[in-house]
Amino acid sequence: MQTVQKARKWNKGKNLVIFAGACQSFFEAIMEAGANFASSPDRIMIDFADPLIVAEIIATSEEYKYITIEDIADKLRDGMKGIGGIGANGKMKVTNS
């Protein structure tokens, strides 16, 4: 968990999004350490694609939009049983050219 805390300290003030964990991880400890999203709140085997889906949605959402796990859950195999979190701002920058 020190890695998450070090990343937060190093990127202080930046819009850093951290997804951590693996199947049957200690979800609460990962979230307490500072992750935005983590697996697996219900200590289940998650689908390998679920973290990728979360990352894709965050990456392709406008930076002013705050994405919560509730916004993503219906796209995940096990919903909020497999992935949990507090949410994050999108990363896509939109410019007027």
Contact 84, 37 (CB under 8 A): yes
Task: Supply the pTM of this predicted model.
Answer: 0.82
Decide: 12 and 43 in contact? Cβ < 8 Å.
no
For residue range 21-76, list pLDDT tens digits in order. Answer: 887 789 999 898 888 999 989 999 999 999 999 999 999 999 999 999 999 999 99
Q: Tell me: the pLDDT tens digits for 79-92? A: 999 999 999 999 99
